[in-house]
A and B are shown apart, each in its own frame.
Chain A
Amino acid sequence: MSHDGLMSLNVEHLPTRTLPAEKPLRLLDNAGHAVTGASTGGFLLPDVDTLLDLYRKMVVARRFDVQVTALTKQGRLATYPSAYGQEACEIGAVASLDPVDWLFPTYRDSIALLTRGIAPGEILQSFRGDWHNGYDQHAYRTAAQATPLATQALHAVGLAHAARLRRDPIVSLTYLGDGATSEGDAHEAFNFAAVWQTPTVFIVQNNQFAISTPLARQTHATTLADKAVGYGMPGFHVDGNDVAAMYAVTRAAVDRARAGGGPTLIEGVTYRIESHTNSDDPTRYRSSRDVEHWKRRDPIERLEKYLVSEGVLTETVRAEITDAAEELAAATREVMTVEAELDPLELFDHVYSRPRAALAEQRAFLAAELAGARDHAEGRR
């Protein structure tokens, strides 16, 4: 996959005192036609091999998302925040990273983790309620999914700064929601990144709602990307349902960061088709007309139209992708039907690296309680 020729901008001289375009930057329109002119922001459409790869990743990701939502409704998971409809933002951004780069995701970004190669059973450990984080963060260079909003953005900045001090050409990328941009930590992360010129890319997935609160109650700015200007970093306002644009812009920002050009803020305008989580009732705060409107702007269908018109998405390729997606869904169902063996005594084992006497006492207390319960169950008492 070649990344050359994606940019027509000289990334060393991106304007940082100009507001992003009010009309979202896009490379493919909703009918799947390549866009020309000012709306492209000077970015070039990625080649068809790259786009086909992004398509494959999005289809697999959506199948996973739909499968996990279904498993959650069956009671297999405690909760699952779906990213249905946001695949272009999620995949376009994460696919821009190299394996050495670090990802700092939120609870909504499970499909980005999947795309990074993390196994479904490891991703879903936390949502199933087994343990708060189930994958090796160092192995995947992917931090634990953050629940407190915008807090992970500071971790992304700190890690990138450490890498920079070490002269390691590593980029950190973090996702934020539209609601999270109201948090103080978002401000501090943007500012620290800009002042320290860390190699960090902020992806703001503007999916229109923070649970139920609409964007108009989060910000008075014209776009969330506008905020970048005040920090002295480039901001891009992008059609978040156009994976070609999300990928092209993010890849340019990643390359620029790696080359020492500092951070970038990218707003992807998208929509959360599913509810916030399974315990949410979106009919209380948004209309079905609104949802239907966005369903007609589906990010996967858009790319599909383009790839078919280009003749690369043949029936054979389509079938192969569908098979891969179904295979993953089956594997996900399988791993989630097996209850993990949990050891309650492990609750005490990872709090500190050094043993603590008081904690050892509490561990012994629970061990005795468990042994008593076993004896009782076996009729010994």
Chain B
Amino acid sequence: MNATTTEAPRTEASPTQLTMAGALNAALRDAMAADDRVVVYGEDVGPLGGVFRVTDGLQAEFGDERIWDSPLAESGIIGTAVGMAMYGMRPVVEMQFDAFSYPAFEQMVSHVAKMRNRTKGRVTLPMVVRIPCAGAIGGVEHHSDSSEAYWASTPGLTVVMPSNPADAYSMLSEAIASDDPVVFMEPKSRYWAKAPLALPVTTAPMDRAVVVREGTDVTLLAYGPTVRTALEAAEAAVDEDLSIEVVDLRSLSPFDDETVGASVRKTSRAAVIHEAAQFGGYGAEVAARVTERNFHHLAAPVLRITGFDIPYPSPKLEEHHLPTADRVLAALDTWEWDA
């Protein structure tokens, strides 16, 4: 992948190859070292280092009063984090897989999202809920869901999803420093993606979208795992003499209307790509607000290239469900191109 990045990461040391899991691990370590109010807990995050090894080595370094294994109960994890944040701690808790976060739905929606508003800002909840998300890892049932729309449609939550190691480090650092609760979604299929990186690194603010490849004909709006899909499509489209701009949304709530709007008004065509089902999905919101705000600049309807409206498939069938670069290019072909 040879994407051009409009905002090059700012780094201090010389780069080494780092995975997203490694970058997240480093962000947690640096935050824990800098602030003793930062505590980490969840299922299997201690000696095991998490099922994706994101917390690898942290308990050995910081001890079990800073990072520990909780009982296996997601509502309990989120609910106790609310109380800890009320007392001034900055808990960073892990949901092992996003389909396993559903028991915590009530705590998230009724308390995490509403506490600040309910108390007129007198009680804030500086907590981060890390959620490994999406599929394409050959996972059995309940290990590949895309739950972002549930959280993004809840006022009071901030929802972000990095697509690469540099953003993973920078955005997690910013999320932990935030006074508001942040749902931090980590695309599982990108955990092992490597990039040359020198830490610490600061990329664009976590509430901003970033143009990761410039183009003139089409804007592809992607986040998390589908940023790579969009970049692959853009690369393939070069042969077809089609210039595709790729925007990594990064922040799902808030939505960066400014960056997205600027790109769409330039290209006059937009499509949004995600793994989650289409109906009532996050792409519906993206298509609606891009259309509402830029209708007179659009040459064609905003397309959604998404997973089907089906429960996530079993491992041997998931490739048929997930959006691919070919499927993206085929979708763009459905537009009328004569102008």
Contact = CB atoms under 8 A, between A and B. Distances in A.
Contact of A131 (B39, B86, B120): B120
A63 B172 CA distance: 52
A158 B207 contact: no
B70 A151 contact: no
Nearest to B39: A165
B98 interface: no
Interface stretch (B218-226, B253-261, B315-323): B253-261
B118 interface: yes
Interface in B86-118: 86-89, 91, 103, 106-107, 110-111, 114-118
Interface in A142-190: 143-144, 148, 151, 153-163, 165-166, 172, 184-185, 188-189
Interface stretch (B74-82, B142-150, B304-312, B331-339): B74-82
A161 B84 contact: yes
B84 A354 contact: no
Interface stretch (A81-89, A259-267, A280-288, A345-353): A345-353
B71 A351 contact: no
B73 interface: yes
Interface in B170-223: 178-180, 207
Interface residue tally of chain A, by bracket? 35 or more
Contacts of B71: 188, 191-192, 195
Nearest to B79: A154
Contacts of A161: 80, 83-84
B80 A148 contact: no
A196 to B, nearest CB: 8
A201 to B, nearest CB: 14
B155 interface: yes
Contacts of A148: 106, 110-111
A375 B289 CA distance: 31
B73 A136 contact: no
Contacts of A136: 122
B87 A162 contact: yes
B172 to A, nearest CB: 17
Interface string A129-145: 00111001110000110
B79 A353 contact: no
Given A151-B111, A191-B71, A192-B71, A158 B83 contact: yes
Contacts of A162: 83-84, 86-89
Interface in B109-162: 110-111, 114-124, 155-156, 158
Contact of B80 (A131, A143, A192, A346): A192
B76 A189 contact: yes
Contacts of B239: none
B118 A132 contact: yes
Contacts of A155: 79-80, 82-83, 86, 111
B122 A353 contact: no
A263 to B, nearest CB: 13
A357 B82 contact: no
A350 B73 CA distance: 30
A189 B107 CA distance: 12
B255 A358 contact: yes
Most buried by A among B91, B119, B120, B122: B119
B118 A133 contact: yes
A356 interface: yes
B241 interface: no
A354 B258 CA distance: 17
Interface of B: 39, 65, 70-71, 73, 75-76, 78-89, 91, 103, 106-107, 110-111, 114-124, 155-156, 158, 178-180, 207, 254-255, 257-258
28 contacts: A143-B86, A148-B110, A148-B111, A153-B79, A155-B80, A155-B111, A157-B79, A158-B81, A158-B82, A158-B83, A158-B87, A159-B87, A161-B83, A162-B83, A162-B84, A165-B89, A184-B75, A184-B103, A185-B107, A188-B71, A192-B76, A192-B80, A346-B120, A349-B121, A350-B120, A354-B207, A357-B258, A358-B255
Given A163-B87, A358-B255, 16 more contacts: A133-B118, A133-B120, A151-B107, A154-B79, A154-B82, A154-B83, A155-B80, A155-B83, A157-B80, A158-B91, A185-B106, A191-B71, A351-B155, A354-B180, A354-B207, A358-B254
